[in-house]
Structure 1
């Protein structure tokens, strides 16, 4: 578990005190526009990823959206987009940004696009046995750009603020230490793991969770100039909830939150309002309490409604504490960094090819076969990949981005190390580079570290990304 010394925290507070302050007259006036762009596919069936096997969806239980927020302060414009999707590759996001920049004049580098990580949305990047639909990719690029343009067209004088509340009851670290000798081989035939993801209810073999949770529900609140709610961007570090119908698409609790938070803060029925929930740092956190003897019996969609309501009520409490301002400094900084790839050896590839040859003519079964396919596909990757890191400042609020399924301890380190008064991290933003375990978590092994297209970065990637995030936050704080 991550520990921060009192001295380190004091230094962070002192760093925050160095941020230059402007008088109310000097601060630039804020304008804001928001729009929820429908991105539900128009053709079915369609592949839905998030599982070891592909799942074909035949209808949408609820509409999927790219929820867009555009802010301007007179000299800077930026856009934040949260898409109902499991993960989105950088190439798709870059194409959407380029189209949006053409339509609006917002620099592509000032646009943040992220995925919620719902496991019941159309596949747009290949993972395990799910492959993307080219027609939906083209559709999604256009729809994201159109959503940003629509939000930009709705810019109006606004008031902004930020705050947070706590909702600890929905979060459980899903990686557990097990007693010595309990764990068997990983999919590569190695007996090296000391933790297991999702070990089962009340298992006698578990000892303790392998990491922390972050109960904060952080928000960016936006009102019109006359005080009517315009948008609420929330951030919570929970992987997803699940419990959808077997052939359904669904935005999961992220979409349900968007509906419920407007009711929670009492938005009038005829007033346009956009609720948005971004994923924080939840690569090792889910909604299942494995300390129980058994999980509660729920109907499809019931659990995600309960979670969405709890998070919406926390967001309401945060909203009610916000000190709204009609002016706030905006700043954006981006950096592309090189990260190593854990490529398989020639021997690994040969063994994987032999395993796949033995399974030819039937669907792959079991982790060894599934990871054999991942090994063969990952062998085609370059030795390094370029990852886009971004930081945004909105007044005294900082937002850092990560293109990965980031562990919670990294998110806590970013919050504690940021020079801004309030900071949160949006994961799966501006690309997709798989899981991001810390070096210490790599040593523990487990699913999130197993080499695949879902977990391929070098073990030193997390310190590099975290350092870049903090440096960019310091940069925007000094602007």
Structure 2
């Protein structure tokens, strides 16, 4: 655990602000298993901005209670923020709660039959962008000299979800022998005089206790974790999602009314561990020297301590973003892709003629959208690639790494293991979400995540080399951050 920053120099200034982004009840939430619109609010959804001003560098960390955003939607949000506050390096992380609305890029609403939901989504996400720009401006304007401390604890509220079924196929279930990451990363920001500013809580686990059959709008377990942290510290808490691609809550996806209780239970455990770590991170007054007093009733001494202001060092604040171009899987032949599209259209027509339930219509429509994208890409007969942003932020000997994908937990662990920094927090779900990125070994097993590019409306998915390339790129960014002295 460390504590960085020189109160006298006050080179680091920190501000925080928050907005409520709870959608209106009646707006449908994310997912193609939904049977209707949202019915009530469990807890408000929030958007929180942490402004870090060090030297000539302005870094904004945005923590959003959203399922995902596309890289293009993040680019639009970033432009809106920069137009409002000026040049800044912006790190946008979504909690990935499944009890939140889908962004327009997800195309989950049928413009022919759900025009009201299409309009709700567009209006809602325009509001999110506007609120993001607003709270970033408030956070920057309210930034004040600060000290920072960071460290880690551990709690297990997640389980590896890649379960092998009796038939040998992969289920989204529970694999208690699978890899998890129990690490709770905590970053504490205080005013120089000791008043709390913000606490960042980092953890790797899907927030999907409230599953696709719940009608509640909710941040899931993340909301309870934040509430506990804020109640016990007085700091504004931001949750950053880690690498949760193959990690689900220990309680599983809960059907019925038990979901809220289970989400609260897991979030409370996480929040309590975050608070335990938080309390040890920053010392504003420390023991200086000991004094002795002679006891009046015996030949012994009583000792006490004199405290003085703690001394801290000034942290380097830096941000680096790099783009790596990675290959996508080989597309089917054009005639094969056309046949898949034709079959999807035929199935959609059948589903509509049978007056099927909403989930069936949603899945059939999205299958048409994806097969059309795949067919059009296949007709061009070219090798597909995608540009992937890897962003790193340094605050003293703390580093944040952000990658726009649902990373398997093992990928984050590899990056952290090779980091030169004392504390390294690796986050998927940052600056957009492309699709799941499994480990190379997971491709051999198969399972839902391998074909997730279809749900994300990408014509093709990642290859087995993505794991190695993302780990190496993450480590290169960390090495470059480590070499930063000033900007």
Q: Same fold (TM over 0.5)?
A: yes
Could you tell me which of 132, 135, 138 is aligned with 1:150? Answer: 138
Matched, 1:83 2:64: yes
Matched, 1:353 2:332: no
Residue 295 of structure 1 and its aligned partner are, at CA, apart by 8.2
Residue 438 of structure 1 and its aligned partner are, at CA, apart by 1.4
Q: Residue 92 of structure 1 contacts residue 137 of structure 1 at CA under 8 Å; is this kept in 2?
A: no
1:203 match: none
TM-score (norm 1): 0.81
Structure-2 separation of matches of 1:399 and 1:358:
45
Residue 224 of structure 1 and its aligned partner are, at CA, apart by 1.2
Could you tell me which of 30, 38, 53 is aligned with 1:72? Answer: 53
1:385 match: 386
Structure-2 separation of matches of 1:79 and 1:196:
38
Residue 358 of structure 1 and its aligned partner are, at CA, apart by 3.3
Could you tell me which of 302, 305, 310 is aligned with 2:269? Answer: 310
The farther-off stretch of 230-239 and 27-36 is: 27-36
Query: Residues 77-476 of structure 1 correspond to what in structure 2 (within 5 A)?
Result: 77-107=58-88, 110-127=89-106, 129=108, 133-168=121-156, 170-178=157-165, 182-183=167-168, 194-198=169-173, 211-243=178-210, 246-265=214-233, 267=234, 273-288=235-250, 299-323=258-282, 325=312, 327-342=314-329, 344-345=331-332, 346=334, 347-360=336-349, 361=352, 362-363=355-356, 365=360, 372-373=367-368, 375-379=370-374, 380=376, 383-450=384-451, 451-454=453-456, 456-476=461-481
Residue 416 of structure 1 and its aligned partner are, at CA, apart by 0.4
Residue 328 of structure 1 and its aligned partner are, at CA, apart by 1.3
Structure-2 separation of matches of 1:319 and 1:222:
10
- 1:294-340, CA deviations, whole angstroms, 9 ceiling, x for partnerless residues? 98996341111111110111101111221454631111000122222
2:380 match: none
Residue 473 of structure 1 and its aligned partner are, at CA, apart by 0.9
Residue 121 of structure 1 and its aligned partner are, at CA, apart by 0.8
Residue 449 of structure 1 and its aligned partner are, at CA, apart by 0.6
Residue 459 of structure 1 and its aligned partner are, at CA, apart by 3.0
Residue 369 of structure 1 and its aligned partner are, at CA, apart by 5.0
Q: Residue 54 of structure 1 contacts residue 130 of structure 1 at CA under 8 Å; is this kept in 2?
A: no
Structure-1 separation of matches of 2:221 and 2:99:
11
Matched, 1:57 2:38: yes
Summarize the Cα distance change of 1:461–1:349 in structure 2 as closer, same or farther, 3 Å threshold. farther
Summarize the Cα distance change of 1:95–1:372 in structure 2 as closer, same or farther, 3 Å threshold. closer
TM-score (norm 2): 0.80
Alignment partner of 1:70: what SS? strand
Aligned-residue CA RMSD in angstroms? 3.0
Structure-2 separation of matches of 1:249 and 1:56:
10
Alignment partner of 2:258: what SS? coil
Residue 51 of structure 1 and its aligned partner are, at CA, apart by 4.5
Q: Residue 378 of structure 1 contacts residue 453 of structure 1 at CA under 8 Å; is this kept in 2?
A: no
Residue 24 of structure 1 and its aligned partner are, at CA, apart by 6.0
Alignment partner of 1:63: what SS? coil
Q: Which runs of 5 or more residues in structure 2 are unaligned?
A: 111-117, 284-311, 378-382
Structure-1 separation of matches of 2:84 and 2:340:
50
Summarize the Cα distance change of 1:102–1:72 in structure 2 as closer, same or farther, 3 Å threshold. same
Structure-2 separation of matches of 1:447 and 1:371:
16
Q: Residue 347 of structure 2 contacts residue 364 of structure 2 at CA under 8 Å; is this kept in 1?
A: no
Number of residue-to-residue matches in the alignment: 425
2:22 match: 40
Summarize the Cα distance change of 1:328–1:377 in structure 2 as closer, same or farther, 3 Å threshold. farther
Structure-2 separation of matches of 1:79 and 1:315:
22
Alignment partner of 1:31: what SS? strand
Summarize the Cα distance change of 1:27–1:125 in structure 2 as closer, same or farther, 3 Å threshold. farther
- 1:380-403, CA deviations, whole angstroms, 9 ceiling, x for partnerless residues? 569222221100111100110010
Q: Which structure has the larger Rg over C-alpha atoms?
A: 2
Q: Which runs of 5 or more residues in structure 1 are unaligned?
A: 1-21, 184-193, 200-207, 268-272
Residue 287 of structure 1 and its aligned partner are, at CA, apart by 1.1
